[in-house]
Chains A and B, each alone.
Chain A
Amino acid sequence: GAGVSQSPSNKVTEKGKDVELRCDPISGHTALYWYRQSLGQGLEFLIYFQGNSAPDKSGLPSDRFSAERTGGSVSTLTIQRTQQEDSAVYLCASSFSGQGSYGYTFGSGTRLTVV
Chain B
Amino acid sequence: GENVEQHPSTLSVQEGDSAVIKCTYSDSASNYFPWYKQELGKGPQLIIDIRSNVGEKKDQRIAVTLNKTAKHFSLHITETQPEDSAVYFCAARAPSGNTPLVFGKGTRLSVIA
Contact A42 B105 (CB under 8 A): yes
**Cβ 8 A contact of A103, one of B41, B46, B103:** B46
Contact A106 B100 (CB under 8 A): no
Best-buried of B41, B101, B103 by chain A (most CB within 10 Å): B101
Q: How large is the interface on A (under 10, 10 to 19, 20 to 34, 35 or more residues)?
A: 20 to 34
Q: How many residues of B contact A (CB 8 A)?
A: 24
A96 neighbours in B (Cβ, 8 Å): none
Contact B98 A48 (CB under 8 A): yes
A43 interface hit (Cβ, 8 Å):
yes
Q: How far is the CA of A92 from the CA of B44 in the complex (A)?
A: 10
Contact B45 A106 (CB under 8 A): yes
A50 neighbours in B (Cβ, 8 Å): 98
Q: How far is the CB of B40 from chain A (nearest CB, A)?
A: 11
Best-buried of A53, A93, A107 by chain B (most CB within 10 Å): A93
Contact B49 A33 (CB under 8 A): no
Known: A56-B98, A101-B32. A91 touches B44 (CB 8 A): yes
A56 neighbours in B (Cβ, 8 Å): 98, 100
Q: How far is the CB of B25 from chain A (nearest CB, A)?
A: 13
A91 neighbours in B (Cβ, 8 Å): 43-44
A21-69 residues at the B interface, CB under 8 angstroms: 31, 33, 35, 41-43, 45, 48, 50, 53, 56, 59
Which 9 A-B pairs rank lowest in CB-CB distance, beginning with the nearest? A106-B43, A101-B32, A42-B105, A103-B46, A43-B103, A98-B98, A42-B103, A108-B43, A48-B100
